[in-house]
Amino acid sequence: MSVETTPADRQGRSRSEELKTLTILWAIFTVLGVIFALIVPHHLMGPSASNTMTEVERTFTMFSVASAPVAAVVWALAVYSLMRWRRRGAWKEGDPDGPPLRGHGMTSGIWIFLSSALCLFLLIWGLAALSKVDSAAASGATPLEIDVTGQQWVWTFSYPSQGVESDQLVLPVNRPVVFKVTSDDVIHSFWLPEMGIKVDANPGVTTSTSTVPDRLGLYHVRCAELCGLLHADMETNARVVTSDDFDTWIAGQGGHA
Amino acid sequence: MTTADIYKTDPSPVAPHGGIMRRLNVGTGIIAGIVLAVVANVLAKKLADGHTHEPDVRAVFTMFGWAVGFLLGMGAFTGPFRWLVGRDLTHADELFLAGKDQGVGRYFRFTTDHKVVGIQYLVLVMVMLGAGGSMAMLIRTDLISPNSGFLGPQTYNSLVGLHGLTMILATIIMVTGPFGNFVVPLMIGARDMAFPRLNALSFWLLVAMLPILYSAAFLGGIPMGWVGYTPIADQGPPGVDAYMMAILVFAVSTAVAGMNITTTIVTMRARGMTWTRTPIFVYGVLASVVLALPAFPFFMAAELLLFVDRVMGGGFYVPNRGGQPWLYQNLFWLMGHPEVYVILIPAVTALMELTAVFARKPLFSFRIAVLSIIAIVGLSATVWAHHMFASGWAPDLNGPFMLTTEMISIPTGGLFLVILGTIWRGRIWTAFPMMCTYAMLWNFIIGGITGIYLSDVPLDYQLHGSMFVTAHFHYTLMGAGLTGAMGALGYWFPKMTGRMLGNTPAFVSFWLVQIGFNVTFLGMFMVGLQGQPRRVVHYDASFHTGNTISTLGAYCIGIGMLVLLYDVISSWRHGDLAPMNPWGAKTLEWTVPNPIPLENFAVLPVVTEDAYGYGEEPVPESEPEPVPASAGAEADVPGAPA
Ligand SMILES: [Cu+2]
Ligand SMILES: [Cu+2]
């Protein structure tokens, strides 16, 4: 199949000029893509409120930057083909055909090599980030354990070591926290969008996720799995407070620090 | 008694006007369906009176009665029945079944001609896309502002599920149904499909399915989205029974269609059409159904277990009875991921096919195209749990599933290479079908890249279940898949209807749909990144801008689709008559006259080269024939071309 035909097709510009224009187009698209990648996702995801989210935003930006030259190849070729090789008017019987190029070993080889290399890079990056996320709470101070229970359509947070139960999530800043998540009825999904963590709340089993909140503020807990009638209302607040404020809150709830 | 004996006992070659068979059509089907549904309902009430599961028992009995009655009344089982009683169909009967000399009436009967079935599928797909699209408009209207109150939560949740399921089912059949049935037999030089009656059966099963599916709206709706996750599906109203029964019927239809198309392509290609001379679209259709054949039984099994749970009091998915919801998710996604490629591969290969024609160049690296398709088919069976990264099931497997998922990007890149290489230095004619190729390149690169984000486990923890996912899969299934199907429609419309698709409305529709599409789903990416969950009837005010953008884009798509619908209907009725080969293509479907005679080819074609020899001298006749690799094709391929 891979008959290599050197096209004797040299109408107008030379091959090097062709490549030059293409490269310029590609470079323009790449630069635009990289600028977009560096600004837009981070802006949309907002300031990170945990070490996990910092990692998520970094990975998202990194993948976007890495994708820019790839998408730019496709866009440059598409745009260039329309600029240079577009036929005016409809095809008619007897019109000349394009060059019979049935393949080009070198091009295919480079294409497959580059896409494999890129894939390998993404994989390594992903595995590294995964192990970082998984070990986030394993180090440092004793993690705070919080049992999260989803039920149609409220969240309940209990702090077993402190003997407190609440429908608000309050977290001390810079202290690792481990969430043990379960459900009383159907599947819910415990999501802290500003902290980049999510795990399903399954009836009958306990799943877990962890992070280190590193920014004071008022954030959200949302349900990310359709759980029936009031799924959209299944959200509450997550407050990240100083360690002192946290102890005060615990005491105010009748717990012990 | 052997078959030969049965033939002998048949007294006359022509049964007296075929008896009742000639009076059956969709009308008698509906009557028989309703009668049997009522009978089954009464029976179920007697059986399950007062039992906890009574509503569910009655619902599934009624739906089953409807489906069986409808098919019986259509005459779907006439052939096997006549064979059982020793009166096999005569040649005249077969011709009647094929729709010979019946005008428009043949579209409303159990007609076996693959061209009739192809047109029936095309209309069905348009009806389903219309239904699913209307639901999308309602959903987007509700989401135009944070608390629009346009829809109540129950209606909204049901609409989200029914929109999803309708669109998934429609896109699964949107290329292999209309074009796989109409075009593929022509393209491979066959007179019909391998099993014409199964072909008709696969279509009418879908017609039987639709009322079952939409009855969900009157049975309390479906509370759990198109994925039908348990245990919420266990607890849902009888609408869930409708969901489950519709999927069971659909799965039977795809099994029947899949084995029919597979057999046809493997065994019925024209003399000399070796695998290296088989058009890429045929590969695409084959890959799609070969992938669906093992994938859909998982869906069927998932719903059968749900059936046992809901109707018979089982507890496969009910945790406090020892059941396990993750079992459902695994079964579901074992179908759910391959299904993405069941949808995409035929759409993309249709675009490859027409790109070669509109660029007047051979397909660039046919071999990479085929190998990429095979690799995608293989890999797509190994990635299902990437939909479960955040579910908590088997965290240790997240790494391996991330690996297999990211590997799919390599053969997918191969598909891009083939199309871009084909465009390279072509004589590009940007007619409507070719415009769809360009739109697909744009949309699919965005869909593909955002898929890589979701394959990354830490990113998926954040993005799973958010609007980002919704935007991503619409970019693949709609931006690439549906755009491919629209290109295929524009390309094969002249052969299917004998008339040209009107150019100007198609052009207007193209821009409305594509711009609207990108506006809609870029807006959706935006709110997904901001943290909006999927499937919510109202949302935080901070997501207002992106949602309003999305809704306006969706209206733009809706208008564009209506323009296309107008174009299709008006061109079909009084468009310009199409020449035999309006695009100057080299595949076999363009060698038959319009309108296409009943058995397609007066003399079956013999193939001596592939269909991509643009700009090449014809292959000399003395070139030695390669030996086909497949055992199935051997019977069809003689040693030398005629
Ligand atoms: Cu929930
Ligand atoms: Cu998938």
* Contact indicator for A189, A225 with CB cutoff of 8 Å: yes
Nearest-angstrom CA–CA distance, B352 and B350: 5
Mapping DSSP to helix (H, G, I), strand (E, B) and coil, where does residue B192 land? coil
The verdict on residue B600 lying in a domain is no
For residue B636, what pLDDT is reported? 43
* Contact indicator for B259, B294 with CB cutoff of 8 Å: no
**B542 vs A: CB within 8 A:** no
**Cα maximum dimension of chain A:** 90
Give the up-direction half-sphere exposure of residue B509: CA atoms within 13 A in the CB hemisphere.
Answer: 22
CB contact under 8 A, A99 and B615: yes
CA of A252 to the centre of ligand 2 (A): 47
Tens-digit pLDDT profile for residues A77-96? 999 999 999 998 888 888 89
CATH 2.60.40.420 placement within chain A: 144-252
Please give, rounded to a whole number of angstroms, the shortest distance from the CA of B532 to a CA of chain A. Answer: 9
From residue B535, alpha-carbon distances to B53, B197, B424, B442, B609 in Å are: 29, 41, 42, 27, 52
From residue A195, alpha-carbon distances to A95, A133, B169, B472 in Å are: 61, 12, 36, 22
The residue range of the domain holding B55 is 16-90
B616 compared with A24, residue with greater pLDDT: A24
Are B431 and B505 within one domain?
Answer: yes
CA of B451 to the centre of ligand 2 (A): 9
For residue B93, what pLDDT is reported? 86
CATH number of the domain that residue B137 is part of: 1.20.210.10
pLDDT band at A4 (very low <50, low <70, confident <90, very high): very low
Tens-digit pLDDT profile for residues B81-126? 888 998 888 888 888 888 888 888 899 999 999 999 999 999 999 9
For residue B89, what pLDDT is reported? 85
Q: Which amino acid is at A93?
A: E
Q: Which helix (H) or strand (E) holds B212?
A: helix B196-215
For residue B116, what pLDDT is reported? 95
A5 compared with B514, residue with greater pLDDT: B514
Average pLDDT over residues A28-50: 95
* Contact indicator for B277, B182 with CB cutoff of 8 Å: no
Nearest-angstrom CA–CA distance, B232 and B224: 6
Tens-digit pLDDT profile for residues A194-239? 999 999 999 999 999 999 999 999 999 999 999 999 999 999 999 9
* Contact indicator for B515, B573 with CB cutoff of 8 Å: no
Last residue of a domain, one of B525, B540, B574: B574
Nearest-angstrom CA–CA distance, A247 and B8: 95
Q: How many residues does chain B have?
A: 642
The verdict on residue B348 lying in a domain is yes
**Residue of A60, A130, A186 lying closest to B232 (CB–CB):** A186
DSSP label at residue B493: H
The verdict on residue B115 lying in a domain is yes
CB contacts, 8 Å: B455 with chain A? 126
For residue B12, what pLDDT is reported? 45
B401 Cβ contact partners less than 8 Å away, ≥ 6 residues apart? B383, B384, B385, B386, B389
pTM over 0.95: no
Q: Which helix (H) or strand (E) holds B384?
A: none
End-to-end CA distance of chain B: 42
The residue of chain B nearest to residue A75, with distances taken between CA atoms, is B442
Are B68 and B217 within one domain?
Answer: no
**Residue of A99, A115, A181 lying closest to B361 (CB–CB):** A99
Average pLDDT over residues A47-62: 94
Tens-digit pLDDT profile for residues A170-188? 999 999 999 999 999 999 9
For residue B90, what pLDDT is reported? 87
CA of B501 to the centre of ligand 2 (A): 35
Report the percentage of chain B scoring pLDDT > 90.
84
Statement: residue A13 has pLDDT above 80: no
Domain A144-252 belongs in CATH node 2.60.40.420: yes
Mapping DSSP to helix (H, G, I), strand (E, B) and coil, where does residue B459 land? helix
Are B357 and B484 within one domain?
Answer: yes
What phi, psi does A158 have (nearest 5°)? -120, 140
* Contact indicator for B447, B453 with CB cutoff of 8 Å: no
CA of B177 to the centre of ligand 1 (A): 38
Are B370 and B464 within one domain?
Answer: yes
* Contact indicator for A137, A211 with CB cutoff of 8 Å: yes
Q: How many residues does chain A have?
A: 257
Q: What is the DSSP string of A87-119?
A: PSS---TTPPPPP-----HHHHHHHHHHHHHHH
**Mean per-residue pLDDT pooled into runs of 10, chain B (642 residues):** 41 55 91 97 92 93 97 92 87 87 90 95 97 97 94 95 97 96 96 94 97 96 93 93 96 96 96 96 97 95 96 91 93 95 97 96 95 96 94 91 93 96 94 97 96 93 96 96 97 96 96 97 96 95 96 97 97 95 95 92 93 80 50 40 38
For residue A1, what pLDDT is reported? 39
For residue B17, what pLDDT is reported? 56
Q: Which two tokens stand for residue B183?
A: 């075009």
Last residue of a domain, one of B574, B593, B622: B574
CA of B342 to the centre of ligand 1 (A): 31
The verdict on residue B612 lying in a domain is no
A15 Cβ contact partners less than 8 Å away, ≥ 6 residues apart? none
For residue A52, what pLDDT is reported? 92
Please give, rounded to a whole number of angstroms, the shortest distance from the CA of A36 to a CA of chain B. Answer: 13
CB contacts, 8 Å: A229 with chain B? 153-154, 157, 223
CB contacts, 8 Å: A10 with chain B? none
Among A43, A53, A231, A233, pick the best mutation site for testing chain B contact (most B Cβ within 10 A).
A231
For residue B365, what pLDDT is reported? 93
Are B395 and B531 within one domain?
Answer: yes
Are B440 and B503 within one domain?
Answer: yes
Statement: residue A109 has pLDDT above 90: yes
The verdict on residue B37 lying in a domain is yes
Preceding peptide of A153 cis, ω within 30° = yes
CB contacts, 8 Å: B402 with chain A? 123, 126-127, 130
The verdict on residue B96 lying in a domain is no
The verdict on residue B628 lying in a domain is no
pLDDT band at A7 (very low <50, low <70, confident <90, very high): very low
| Number of structural domains found in chain B | 2
Statement: residue A6 has pLDDT above 50: no
CB contact under 8 A, A197 and B462: yes
Among B529, B583, B616, pick the best mutation site for testing chain A contact (most A Cβ within 10 A).
B529
Q: Which two tokens stand for residue A108?
A: 């295919």
For residue B334, what pLDDT is reported? 96
For residue A138, what pLDDT is reported? 56
Statement: residue A39 has pLDDT above 60: yes
- Dihedral of the CA atoms B352, B353, B359, B361 (nearest 10)? 100
Please give, rounded to a whole number of angstroms, the shortest distance from the CA of B356 to a CA of chain A. Answer: 10
Q: Which two tokens stand for residue B170?
A: 């429609």
The verdict on residue B595 lying in a domain is no
CB contact under 8 A, B442 and A86: no
For residue B637, what pLDDT is reported? 40
CA of A222 to the centre of ligand 1 (A): 8
Last residue of a domain, one of B574, B606, B632: B574
